[in-house]
Structure 1
C-alpha cells in the first residue's frame, strides 16, 4: 500500500506540474530542460567544490581582481549558453515568410507610385500555420520564394533550364516532404526540430536546438567561453593540489577525479573550437564537411575546394557581423568560379593574399 500511495502521490504531483507548465507535456521539451539543468549543475559542482575546499580562494576573491574576473566568466558562460539555446538557428519557413512580406510591401509601394511591379516581384501569399505549412506547387506560376531559390542556382544548371511545364514536377522533387517548403542550397531538414534550417550545421543536444545561420556565431562564442572557463578552472584545481595535496586524502581524491574529467572536457572543447574556427574561415558547415559526397551540389566539386568561401577575411567578417533577424541566401558558384578556386596557389597568390581576400 505504501508503494501504491507514493506512486499515486507522484502521479498527482506530476499532473499538477503539467497543469502549471503545459510545455512540459512534450517529452522532447522535458528532456531538453533536464539537459539544461544538468549542464548548470555540472558548472555549479566544479566551481562550488573549488570554493568549498579552497578557503584561500574565497579570501583572494575579496582582495585580488582576477578571481572576480573568473566568477564573471562563469556567469557570462552560462548567460551565453541560455542565449544560444534560446536563439533561432534560422528556419527556412521564417525566411520564406519574410521574403513574401517584403515582396508584398514592394508591390504596394509600386502601386502607390503608379508603377507596375515587374513579374519578378510577383508573389503568391500562402497561409502558414501548424496544419498547412507551405504553398500550392501544382500551378505553373512559381511564388516569390520559389523564384528566389531557383536564382540561387548558377545559369545553365538543370533547375534554371527546366521547362515551365516540367517545373511543377521539379519543385515537388526538391520540396522537403516533411515541412512542405522549398529549401535553398545549404539548407537541410532537422528531424529533431522538425523544420528546415538555413546553413544547417548540426543539432546540438545540450542546447536543445539546431546550430545554423542564425546562431552559429553565438554557438562559437559559447564554446570559446566554455573552453576559457574550463582552462581557468583547471589551473585553479592544479594550484590547490600543489599546496594542499597531503592535508586530507578524501579531498584529494575528489579534486583529482574532477580534474581528470575536466581535462577530458578541455580537450574536447579545444578541438571543437578549432574545428568550428576552420569551418568559419572556409565558410563551411559540419553537415557539408561530413556529408560532402552525398550532397548533390557538392558531389562533383574537389574536396580541397570550398565553393562558398570568399576568403578568410571576408568569411570571418560575414560570420561575425551578421545582423540578427536577417536572412541571407548564398547562390551556388558558377563553373567559372569553381575553376578559379580549383587553381593551385602560386607565389604571387600568397603575396596577394588570395586565401584571405
Structure 2
C-alpha cells in the first residue's frame, strides 16, 4: 500500500514537473533554474530587510504619516535598485559573435553600396572602409572581421593564437571566453553569479550603477535599523535579537558593497577590467608590459566619458598601444604633467 502510494506520488510530481517545463521552458534548464532561484532569493532578501523594519518600527510609520516624502524617497530607491538589478541582468555584456555578425553585415552592406554606385576603383579590389576608435581600416579580400581584429594587434600576431577554441572566433583585445555563458565576451570583466550573466562592455556601466544604488540602499536601511534599536532597545527582547541579527548581516553586506564599489570605480578610472588586473601575467599581450602601466588608459576624463556616454557603438574595440605609446604611458608624472592635466 505504501509502495503504491509512493510511486503514485512520484508520478504526480513528474507530471507536474513536465507541465511546468512546458509552460515555462526556462525551468527545464538546470542552469536557468539556478539563476532564477538566486534572483528570487535576492528579491526576497530585500523584501525581508525592508518588511521587518516597517513591521516593527512604529516610529517610522508615524514619521511616514507626518513626512511622507522621506519614506517615498526610500521606497523609490528600493524599487529603482531592484529595477536596475533586472535591467543589468537582462542586458547583453557584448558577445564577440554578435560583434562579428554586425561587422560582417556592415561590410556586406558597404560592398553592395559600392557596387551600386559603380565606383571602379573600389569595386576592383572590393575594399570597404571601417572605423574603429577613430582609425580607418581598408579591408581586402579576407573577411571584414578577421582584418579588423588583426589590425588591433601588433604586426606578426598569429591568428591561431587569437582564435577561441570553443567559439572558433578570432578574439579582439580584451575579449575572453566565459565558460559559464559559453560565449566570448568583449572587454570581459567577470561572471556575476547573482546577476546570472557576464559583466562586459555592454553592461559594465549598468553594473556600476547597480552597485552604487545597492550600496546607498544598504546604508540607508542600516541607519534605519540603528535608529530603531536606539529608541526601542528594551521594549521586546526577541524583536531586538531579530533586528540585531539583521543589522549584522546588513553591516557585512555594506562593507562588501563599499569595497566592490571602490574597486570598480578604480577600474573605470584606469580603464581596466577585473580579469586584466587579476590575470595580467596570463594574458599574452599584457605580459611584456610593466605592472604600473595601464595600456588602455586614456586619462581619467576620457575613461569616464567612454565608460558612461560612449554607448552608441556597443561593439567598440580598442587597439593595443604601440611601443611609443607604451613608453609615453610608462613615464612618471611631473608637476608640469599635473598642471597640464596629463593624468586626465
3-state SS of 2:110 partner: helix
Residue 313 of structure 1 corresponds to 301
Among candidates 72, 76, 79, match of residue 80 of structure 2? 76
Does structure 2 retain, via aligned residues, the 8 Å contact 1:200–1:210?
yes
Does structure 1 retain, via aligned residues, the 8 Å contact 2:222–2:247?
yes
The size of the alignment, in residue pairs, is 328
3-state SS of 2:184 partner: strand
Unaligned runs of 5+ in 1: 124-139, 160-169
Does structure 2 retain, via aligned residues, the 8 Å contact 1:214–1:325?
no
Among candidates 61, 66, 71, match of residue 67 of structure 1? 71
Alignment map for 1:243-258 (pairs within 5 Å): 243-258=231-246
Unaligned runs of 5+ in 2: 131-139
* Per-residue CA distance 1:143-192 (angstroms, 9 max, x = gap): 100000011014xx322xxxxxxxxxx42332111111111010000000
Residue 136 of structure 2 corresponds to none
Q: Does 1:112 align with 2:110?
A: no
Deviates more, 1:141-150 or 1:111-120: 111-120
**RMSD value, Cα:** 1.6
* Per-residue CA distance 1:218-237 (angstroms, 9 max, x = gap): 00000000000000000000
Q: Distance in 1 between matches of 2:334 and 2:294?
A: 18
* Per-residue CA distance 1:80-116 (angstroms, 9 max, x = gap): 0000000000000000011011111111111121113
Does structure 1 retain, via aligned residues, the 8 Å contact 2:127–2:141?
no
Does structure 2 retain, via aligned residues, the 8 Å contact 1:193–1:210?
yes
Among candidates 29, 33, 36, match of residue 30 of structure 1? 33
Residue 130 of structure 1 corresponds to none
Q: Does 1:146 align with 2:116?
A: no
Residue 40 of structure 1 corresponds to 43
Residue 98 of structure 1 corresponds to 102
Residue 11 of structure 1 corresponds to 14
* Per-residue CA distance 1:202-256 (angstroms, 9 max, x = gap): 0000000000000000000000000000000000000000010000000000000
TM-score, normalised with respect to structure 1? 0.89
Q: Distance in 1 between matches of 2:253 and 2:6?
A: 40
Deviates more, 1:78-87 or 1:105-114: 105-114
CA 1:122–1:283: 2 relative to 1, 3 Å: closer
* Per-residue CA distance 1:55-76 (angstroms, 9 max, x = gap): 2222322331122100000000
TM superposition shift of 1:345: 1.0
TM-score, normalised with respect to structure 2? 0.92
Alignment map for 1:204-215 (pairs within 5 Å): 204-215=192-203
Residue 132 of structure 1 corresponds to none
CA 1:327–1:149: 2 relative to 1, 3 Å: same
Residue 57 of structure 2 corresponds to 54
3-state SS of 1:355 partner: coil
TM superposition shift of 1:38: 0.5
3-state SS of 2:60 partner: helix
Deviates more, 1:323-332 or 1:177-186: 323-332
3-state SS of 2:174 partner: coil
Residue 181 of structure 2 corresponds to 193
Q: Does 1:353 align with 2:341?
A: yes
3-state SS of 2:191 partner: strand
Does structure 2 retain, via aligned residues, the 8 Å contact 1:107–1:122?
no
Does structure 1 retain, via aligned residues, the 8 Å contact 2:201–2:314?
no
Q: Distance in 2 between matches of 1:309 and 1:43?
A: 37
